[in-house]
Amino acid sequence: MYATCRQWREPLHLLARCRHLHAINSTLDTRNASINAVVHPARISPSVREPASLLYDFSVAVKDNICTSSMPTTCSSAILKDFMSPFDATVVKLLQNNGADIIGKTNCDEFGMGSENKYSVYGPVVHPHQPPNSDVPWENRERRSAGGSSGGSAAAVAAGLCRAALATDTGGSTRLPAAYCGVAGFKPSYGIISRWGVVSYADSLDCVGIVTEDVDDAGKLFGVLSAHDPKDPSAARPETRAQASAHCQYHLQQISGADDFSGLRIGIPQEYFPEEMDRSMHAPLRRILDNLMSRGATVLPVSLPSTPYALSAYYVISSAEASSNMARYDGIRYGSYAPPPLGSDKMKTANVYAHTRSQGFGPEVQKRILLGTYALSADAFDNYFLQAQRVRRLIKADFDRVFAVPNVLSSGETPEDGVHVLLHPSAIRTAPPLDEGQNADLGAYVQDVLTVPASLAGLPALSVPAGLGEDGWPVGISVVGQWGCDEMVLNVGRMVEHARSL
Amino acid sequence: MLAHFTHAKPYVLKNKFRLSRLHTLRTKEDSRWPGWDVVIGIEVHAQIKSRTKLFSSTLTSDPHDPPNTHVSPFDAAFPGTLPHLNPKCVELGIRTAIALNSQVQRRSAFDRKHYFYADLPSGYQITQQYAPFAKGGSLKLSKEDVSVRVKQIQLEQDTGKSTFHPRQQFTAIDLNRAGTGLMEIVSEPDMRSPEEAGDYVRTLQSMLRCVGSSDGNMEQGSLRCDVNVSVNQRGSGFGTRCEIKNLNSVRFMMIAITSEIRRQINLLQSGLPVMQETLGFDEARAETYPLRSKEDAPDYRYMPDPNIPPLLLDEVYIADIRQRMPELPAATRTRLQSLGLTSRDIDVLMDVDSGREVGFDGELRPGAVAYFDSVTNDRDPKVVVNWITHELLGQLAFRKETFSDNPMTTEQMGELIDMVQEKKITGTSGKEILRHILTTRTAKPPSELAKELNMLAVSDDNVLERWCSAAISALPQEAEKVHKGNANAVNRLVGYVMKASKGTANAQAVKTALLEMLR
């Protein structure tokens, strides 16, 4: 691989650090130009930060659908061209208050809708990776997708433009690009990290995600960002968090530490190996499972029978919520406004809005608005939206039936032979080529098939790099735990990292 | 809101027998439309009198505030903002529900109602379509023995205001009102005449004001009505209803209903069907006009709001609010009647109260009834109410002041009444002291003021006799008439004494003394 900016991790004297930054900035600019990961670099040089603060040596990029008052927040959409938010998201404030250096905003699929980061007004993110056996210059490497929707965040970390990046994850938007880019991508339990200032795509699914090079860093950021925020109405209450944490700690004690993983029970969901999956994804997973087992972990097959319906339910629910959330972009109070053509009847609100919305929203967002609008219409509501909600409850129940840790949000029984976590490939393939034809469209949706169930159930899920696949491109493995078991998921993630390096 | 009481729904049919019986019992032939029955249901949107908006901490506004000065990023639907339910709005909603005998739901939820309009910044209104926070209930009308059932009460957001400027061809948008809390109170179709509809809204207004949940001001737009009207020939089933939107005074509402009844009857009489429509009301022409037909009804694409967790209300919380509820108008009336007050006196006291300013967040300001209660304590209620309604309110009115301007404390009033009752001062002096307090806004007790103003009643017989003798000498002809048995003539002599004593003499004692002297 290429040089990462490991040296950033060493706390440098501020002055030295600034000089250092200046020196590396130009190389970073060149690198970014080829990747298209950072779309709004921070203009302000790092403020004087407290060296003792928790995130002092963290340079962090922030996905462009998270509000920042000092940089534009455009969600990669023409409709929010040059939009400056009047406030900072809670997560951005937490980063700043804890000494992190925010380096810029990252490219993404428009409003988070996409799996390949090609639906962006800034153009696609180009994967920074180059397979080891390649002999062309890096700039001329094979053009592959970095995944989406947080492609910019994953690529920025993978390319060493920053030590960590904030992403969002509605149906896999953090985990999928992290898997493609060979970095760690963590979607915490729903309701743990504040969504105040995170631009809504589908509120009941949206989570702030964390992208880092390794799981340790993800844990450090998670520790800072998981503070309860009264401004987020869907935030889990402190009592609920404490209850979940107690269950999690109790089970964590059963899993022995450092080199001995005996006590750890891993479930392999049999439905997570669909026929669309590239067979080359199996080997890295098998290698890691072998290593974990050699350290004493127990691996068990489990079944999550509602999984085949998850993708459809996800697209109905997320599109319905998206159609609702996108309604505010009308060009009246902020964002871009396209005047209706001369002579059109401006007495009808719809006529005035239609031009702005047709010009401002890209094709994928328009597609989902239409789908969601239909799903919510009086004729379709019962058969689509309500049906999808039912499937969502079934998916949750599936998970509760396999985990040893009880779900504090529901009141079901836990199985006697339950597992601590689930392990499965994060994606059905390695990063897809960027310039594949139009008919790859349905395939793009299938990429989410392994990530949406955890989103629908609100569970913590972490994609950990598992080495390179047969084609020389990164492969990720996902660790999924019970709601509120974020610590456990991160712990097992570290074990997977450990097992990988054996 | 779309009407919830389409007459064709099985839910209504189930109640139809009871309804029509109630109906037949109640309906007298209306000479305006003999042979026809009228059915009216009303949706009232009452703005909640909370200090901050329903889902943001922005201060609520007044119609006089400059445009767009009460707007936060959430109110303007900026990306990244999230709602935060204001518990005060919930509390005021519960007070209203309790006052209307409505069943507060242990669990309710919020939904999004979608439509595109410039004064609706997020493109949806947060409301309670699927699970309103209160169901059922009733409101007893004031005039006749009629009770109107309440179907449900829901919490929802108000919109902003858009004003079209025809000359410049643009619409100005003011978001001050956007996101203010509303209570939508939906009645069953239980009213049978424009007058009953008017009575319902007025009774509801004073109820809302009494519990402090809304100032219910139709002219200022803090209470708005959508009215559903249908007519049918006596004995046949309910007719097709039409909804008249956005009526903003009780008077216009009654005119609109009357005009709509006539329109529907005319249609039916000429053999034409009434089409289910949404109507506007032209105040100048006193006519309804079509806004849209049933076919054009928008699909609001209701969706449970994914941000706002369900509203769970436990019994303890509701009981606590019930405990702190102000006395409701009907209970006040009954209680005052039992104290022996006349309906007229009760009306005067309660009218004062329903006209007072409603405080924010349910803060209850003591009104005329509370003043009466506090003064009465163990005094004679009838005496107290006379002093309040005739003297105090009379003087305030004379001074063009309202009850809220009243500087006289209940302690002052109580002592004043006691002094008159105990004949320490005369009634005339009492009224004089009351006027003195209103004018000077003094906090001194009436006993002290009586001394300062030389108004302590004179009951010394020698002094009285001296004044009476002086009166007899001054008015010899009147004295002669009294002497000859014309008792009425004594009044001028009494008047003379009262004037001479500057009101400190007890008129009754003077009269007795004069009659004695002239016998």
Handedness of CA A180, A181, A182, A186 (dihedral sign): negative
Please report, for residues A368, B366, B388, B504, the alpha-carbon distance to residue B210 in angstroms, rounded to integers and kept in the order given.
49, 11, 20, 42
Which amino acid type is present at position B484?
K
pLDDT (0 to 100) of residue B457: 73
CA angle B193, B194, B195 (to 5 degrees): 85
One CATH from 1.10.10, 3.10.150, 3.30.410, 1.10.3470 for B461-517? 1.10.10
Residue A349 has pLDDT above 90, yes or no: no
The mean pLDDT value for B263-273 works out to: 96
Helix axes A387-402, A307-325, angle to 10 degrees: 130
Cβ contact B457:B463 at 8 Å:
no
The mean pLDDT value for A327-346 works out to: 90
pLDDT (0 to 100) of residue A415: 87
d(CA B274, CA B216): 32
Please report, for residues B414, B446, B453, the alpha-carbon distance to residue B450 in angstroms, rounded to integers and kept in the order given.
14, 6, 5
The mean pLDDT value for B453-460 works out to: 75
- Whether residue B485 lies within 8 A of chain A, CB to CB, comes out as no
d(CA A193, CA A180): 24
Handedness of CA A58, A63, A65, A71 (dihedral sign): positive
pLDDT (0 to 100) of residue A347: 76
Lowest mean pLDDT of B358-367, B441-450, B497-506, name the range: B497-506
Q: If you measure CA to CA, which chain B residue comes closest to A69?
A: B80
What value does the CA radius of gyration of chain A take, rounded to a whole number of Å?
Answer: 22
Contact B121 A200 (CB under 8 A): no
Q: Within 13 A of A316's CA, how many CA atoms are on the CB side? A: 22
B223 membership: H or E segment, kind and range = strand B223-233
pLDDT (0 to 100) of residue A24: 59
Contacts of A225 (CB under 8 A, 6+ apart): A91, A94, A95, A193, A194, A208, A210
d(CA A298, CA B364): 66
Classify residue B137 as exposed, middle or buried by CB count within 10 Å of its CB (0-12, 13-18, 19+). buried
Contact A203 B117 (CB under 8 A): no
Q: How far is CA A89 from the centre of its chain?
A: 17
pLDDT (0 to 100) of residue A436: 66
Give the one of A198, A333, A378 whose C-beta lies nearest to B299's C-beta: A378
Please report, for residues A469, B292, B499, the alpha-carbon distance to residue B518 in angstroms, rounded to integers and kept in the order given.
130, 86, 20
CA angle A442, A448, A454 (to 5 degrees): 150
For B218, phi then psi, to 5°, come to -70, -40
Contact A349 B76 (CB under 8 A): no
End-to-end alpha carbon distance in chain A: 19
Tens of pLDDT, residues A429-475: 999 999 865 445 566 778 899 999 999 999 999 999 999 999 999 99
Q: If you measure CA to CA, which chain A residue comes closest to B307?
A: A234
Whose CA is closest to B335, among B308, B301, B361, B372?
A: B372
- Residues, chain A, total? 502
d(CA A114, CA A147): 9
Strand partners, B59: B52
Residues carrying CATH 1.10.10, chain B: 461-517
d(CA B114, CA A377): 10
Please report, for residues A300, B47, B140, B152, B216, the alpha-carbon distance to residue B202 in angstroms, rounded to integers and kept in the order given.
70, 15, 11, 19, 9
**Most confident listed range (B31-45, B422-436, B504-518):** B31-45
Q: Using 50, 70 and 90 to split pLDDT, how confident is the model at A164?
A: very high
Give the one of A198, A231, A321 whose C-beta lies nearest to B306's C-beta: A321
For B95, phi then psi, to 5°, come to -55, -45
Mean pLDDT, chain B, as a whole number? 90
Q: How far is CA A446 from the centre of its chain?
A: 16
**Residue A269 DSSP class:** E
d(CA A489, CA A483): 10
Contact A203 B308 (CB under 8 A): no
Q: If you measure CA to CA, which chain B residue comes closest to A73?
A: B79
SS3 track for B308-369? CCCEECCHHHHHHHHHCCCCCHHHHHHHHHHCCCCHHHHHHHHHHHHCCCCCHHHCCCCCHH
> Count of CB atoms within 10 A of residue A134's CB?
13
Q: Contacts from B510-518 at CB under 8 Å and sequence distance 24+?
A: B510/B464, B510/B467, B510/B468, B513/B461, B513/B464, B513/B465, B513/B468, B514/B468, B514/B471, B514/B472, B514/B482, B514/B490, B515/B482, B515/B487, B515/B490, B517/B465, B517/B468, B517/B469, B517/B472, B518/B472, B518/B479, B518/B482, B518/B483, B518/B490
Tens of pLDDT, residues B65-124: 999 999 999 999 999 999 999 999 999 999 999 999 999 999 999 999 999 998 999 999
Residue A44 has pLDDT above 70, yes or no: no
Structure tokens at A304: 């999550």
Contact A376 B114 (CB under 8 A): yes
Cβ contact A364:A110 at 8 Å:
yes
**Residue B52 DSSP class:** B
Tens of pLDDT, residues A383-425: 999 999 999 999 999 999 999 999 999 887 888 889 999 999 9
pLDDT (0 to 100) of residue B4: 34
Please report residues of A whose CB lies closer than 8 A to that of B76: 333-334
Whose CA is closest to B300, among B123, B159, B133?
A: B123
Whose CA is closest to A442, among A115, A111, A173?
A: A115
Whose CA is closest to A116, among A358, A310, A320, A364?
A: A364
Contact A198 B80 (CB under 8 A): yes
Whose CA is closest to A492, among A267, A161, A212?
A: A267
pLDDT (0 to 100) of residue B508: 79
d(CA B265, CA B274): 9
d(CA A4, CA A175): 21
- DSSP helix, strand, coil percent of chain A (3-state; round to 5): 40, 15, 45
Q: Please tell me the distance in Å from A339's CA to the nearest CA on chain B.
A: 13
CA dihedral A377, A382, A388, A394 (to 10 degrees): 160
Best mutation target among B71, B82, B110, B305 (most A Cβ atoms within 10 Å) is B82
The mean pLDDT value for A21-47 works out to: 80
Residue A45 has pLDDT above 70, yes or no: no
Residue corresponding to tokens 């992290």: A178
d(CA B28, CA B26): 6
DSSP string across A270-334? GGGS-TTS-GGGHHHHHHHHHHHHHTT-EEEEE--TTHHHHHHHHHHHHHHHHHHHGGG-SSSSS
Tens of pLDDT, residues B37-53: 999 999 999 999 999 99
Question: What positions of A carry a catalytic annotation?
Answer: 63, 149, 173
Q: Using 50, 70 and 90 to split pLDDT, how confident is the model at B63?
A: very high
d(CA B291, CA B164): 17
- Whether residue B122 lies within 8 A of chain A, CB to CB, comes out as yes
d(CA B84, CA B86): 6
Contact B299 A377 (CB under 8 A): yes
Tens of pLDDT, residues B365-396: 888 999 999 999 889 999 999 999 999 999 99
Q: Which residues of A touch B (CB under 8 A)?
A: 66-67, 73, 75, 80, 83, 85-87, 89, 195-200, 202-204, 230-234, 320-321, 323-324, 326-328, 330, 332-334, 346, 349-350, 353, 373, 376-378, 381, 385
Beta strand B311-312 with A461-468: parallel, antiparallel or unpaired?
Answer: unpaired
Please report residues of B whose CB lies closer than 8 A to that of A333: 76-78, 121
> For residues A258 and A490, which has the higher predicted lDDT (pLDDT)?
A490
Q: Using 50, 70 and 90 to split pLDDT, how confident is the model at B440?
A: very high
Start-end of H helices in A349-467: 349-360, 363-376, 387-402, 441-446, 452-457
Q: Please tell me the distance in Å from B303's CA to the nearest CA on chain A.
A: 7
Residue corresponding to tokens 């104290």: B339
Mean pLDDT, chain A, as a whole number? 91
Beta strand B147-157 with B138-140: parallel, antiparallel or unpaired?
Answer: antiparallel
